[in-house]
Amino acid sequence: MKDSWSLEINWPKTVKRFWSQVDRPREGCWNFVGKNGQGHTNGKFRVCKNPSVIKTPCRFAYELFHGPLRQEKAVRQKCGNPRCVHPFHLYAELRDARRKRRLEKAKRAAQEWAQFKNSLVCSRCGWNEAGVGIEFHHRDPSEKDFELGKKGRHFGPENARIQEELAKCDVLCSNCHKLAHGAPEIFKNFRGRTVAQ
């Protein structure tokens, strides 16, 4: 059964407006580039103004080809591109299944991040007793895009953005990192010995 607001829409005009906001190359993903999508991971598409109905572009595209979805289902991209609305790249799943998969993925990423940090050594004093004491010092603060400690646990060390940010950093233990920020002159001359010595 259609929603009551769907009877008020000029569907040909709405569909045309939707596809006018999609970049459709001959190959690869079809990315939603509409103005309502700026600042949102998946984008937003206003289906109608009165009453106000807004959907994610991927959900709108999926429903165009497969019919209405129940609220407990969400639309995802097989390609992994959150802006993609290519009908062949979309699939529907229960929101609970997605939540469970994301938790498992985050747990796996956190474990991989912990193992990665356990393999590192402080570039100043050589300390490597435990990964929890290893931190990342940006050589040029103006190039810093985000904190690796937070993002790394979420995405894991193999993520491309994490790798790019790691390239901007020196590996330091917690003590050396504190010296780098709190006492830069001492840190500048501090090499080859542990803080305890």
User: What digits encode the pLDDT tens for the residues 65-89?
Assistant: 888 888 888 888 888 888 899 999 9
137, 177 contact by CB (below 8 A): yes
Taking each helix axis as running N to C, give the angle between helix 95-118 and helix 148-155, from 0 to 180 degrees, rounded to the nearest 10: 120
- Do 65 and 147 fall into the same domain? no
If one compares 162 and 194, the residue with the highest pLDDT of the two is: 162
Average pLDDT over residues 102-111: 85
- Statement: residue 43 has pLDDT above 80: no
- Do 126 and 93 fall into the same domain? no
- Do 125 and 53 fall into the same domain? no
- Do 139 and 54 fall into the same domain? no
Please compute, for residue 97, the number of CA atoms within 13 A of its CA located in the half-sphere on the CB side. 9
Domain-located, residue 112: no
Average pLDDT over residues 107-134: 85
Which tens digit of pLDDT belongs to each residue from 176-190? 888 878 777 666 665
- Statement: residue 10 has pLDDT above 70: no
Domain-located, residue 197: no
**Per-residue model confidence (pLDDT) at position 196:** 36
- Do 71 and 134 fall into the same domain? no
**Per-residue model confidence (pLDDT) at position 9:** 57
For 117-121, 124-128, 132-136, which range has the lowest pLDDT when averaged over its residues? Answer: 124-128
- Do 177 and 129 fall into the same domain? yes
Output the pTM of the full model: 0.51
- Statement: residue 3 has pLDDT above 70: no
**Per-residue model confidence (pLDDT) at position 51:** 61
- Do 81 and 46 fall into the same domain? yes
State the residue range of the domain holding 174: 119-189
Q: What distance in Å separates the CA atoms of residue 193 and residue 176, rounded to the nearest whole number? A: 11
Q: What distance in Å separates the CA atoms of residue 197 and residue 194, rounded to the nearest whole number? A: 5
If one compares 130 and 157, the residue with the highest pLDDT of the two is: 130
Which tens digit of pLDDT belongs to each residue from 31-42? 988 765 444 556
The domain tally of the chain equals 2
Domain-located, residue 38: yes
Domain-located, residue 108: no
Domain-located, residue 45: yes
- Do 34 and 69 fall into the same domain? yes
- Do 176 and 142 fall into the same domain? yes
- Do 45 and 92 fall into the same domain? yes
29, 23 contact by CB (below 8 A): no
Domain-located, residue 81: yes
Domain-located, residue 62: yes
- Do 92 and 14 fall into the same domain? yes
Split at pLDDT 50, 70, 90, the class of 29 is: very high
